[in-house]
Amino acid sequence: MLMKHEDFEGMFRRVLEEGLSGLGWTLPESALEAMARYARMVREWNERINLTTLVDPEAMAARHFIDSLTALMVLREPGWPPAPAQWPARRLADIGSGAGFPGLALKLAWPALEVTLIESVGKKARFLEAVAQELGLDGVTVLARRAEEVGQDPAHRERYDIAIARAVAALPVLLEYLLPLVRVNGMAVAMKGAEVEEELAAARGALERLGGRLRERREVAWPPHLPPRTLLVFEKAAPTPAGYPRRPGIPEKRPLR
Ligand SMILES: C[S@@+](CC[C@H](N)C(=O)[O-])C[C@H]1O[C@@H](n2cnc3c(N)ncnc32)[C@H](O)[C@@H]1O
């Protein structure tokens, strides 16, 4: 049984606002309202299609929205004001977007962001389109395709300032999805757990082959009741060779070493 709208919205808003103040981000009321409507849609659609295991309002606010918004810490460029609503346009690709995290949450906080959500499961992609339509969002493109195909499509290859992903694949595989989409000097962000040493060591060969370089690892310990996470930020130092990404399924089957 779903709880009443008022209860859901009240709890969701409380955790969302606490989480944002801890991060130091101020969002306009319209963005908070849009996030609550979006969270409600996740909960409703989740009755029919499998979007997420987290549907209670506190978990949704903390683990989906606040966690997604922690990426703003590494996306903010020098000289930009503290309010993401005032940041200039950038092009961002979110790979394996699922129910839209982090891509759609970032879009709601940073309206000038142009977002491409890449999600190979058709039903999830239809959900993402429905959210963009319901909230009247401009600058959101949904691709129901595999990252490996999109990375070889000239309309998308090396066209993004930022490529980002959360909970999609091990780092060597993920870098083969992310880096081909990023322009030279752009950045790839992998949202990972606390233990990244082994993954980073395993990804050394992939980074070299794909033209990437580790720029920053930012530990995230907010909200305090969640396990710590790490934002791994890579810069694209050189163009990615034409053969990458390899055919769908190959990066996962034979990760670069
Ligand atoms: C565990 S979910 C994570 C969803 C979301 N990023 C989040 O953190 O809540 C992984 C998603 O990535 C998608 N996915 C996995 N590999 C993909 C690929 N190669 N291309 C596009 N989507 C992919 C899956 O369909 C799934 O929806």
Q: Judge contact between 210 and 234, C-beta under 8 A.
A: no
pLDDT band at 88 (very low <50, low <70, confident <90, very high): very high
Report whether residue 178 contacts ligand 1, using a CB cutoff of 6 Å.
no
95 CA distance to ligand 1 middle (Å): 7
Q: What are the sequence ranges of the domains in the chain?
A: 5-253
State yes or no: 101 annotated in a binding site: yes
Protein residue with least CA distance to atom 27, ligand 1: 98
256 CA distance to ligand 1 middle (Å): 19
Protein residue with least CA distance to atom 12, ligand 1: 96
Q: Judge contact between 15 and 21, C-beta under 8 A.
A: no
CATH of 5-253 given 3.40.50.2300, 3.40.50.150, 3.30.70.920, 3.40.50.720 = 3.40.50.150
State ipTM: 0.99
The mean of the pLDDT values for the chain is 96
The mean pLDDT of 111-124, rounded to a whole number, is 98
pTM of the model: 0.97
* Secondary structure letter of residue 246 according to DSSP: -
Beta pairing class for 160-166 and 114-118: unpaired
State yes or no: 238 annotated in a binding site: no
153-169 pLDDT tens trace: 999 999 999 999 999 99
79 CA distance to ligand 1 middle (Å): 33
